[in-house]
Amino acid sequence: MPKFTEELKAAGIEIVDSIPALLERVDVVLLESLDGRKHLEQARPVIAAGKALFIDKPVSGTLADAIEIFRLAAEAQSSCFSSSSLRYSPGIAGPCQ
């Protein structure tokens, strides 16, 4: 992660140290962290701020967390969705070989 972060900085991309700091600078958040167990915790401030939110797979670590994320978004009338491009992968979209 540190090498990737440095590459982004070298490309002129601003890196902030927290989600609250990010929310001051953006209209939409793409939550791309790989550990779905953290997604509810990370989504809460985004939803509370009324920002549109995309959560990459997995949407959460548990079904209960997924339900809570979308419940919070509905309650706040905030846009929230999750998706994966893997559904277009030949091994997933078509018959297995």
Q: What is the pLDDT of residues 35-76, one digit of tens each?
A: 999 999 999 999 999 999 999 999 999 999 999 999 999 999
- Higher per-residue confidence, 92 vs 68: 68
Dig out the tokens for 85 from the structure.
């491009």
pTM (2 d.p.): 0.81
pLDDT at 87 over 80: no
3-state DSSP assignment of residue 80: strand
Phi, psi dihedrals of residue 26, rounded to the nearest 5° = -130, 165
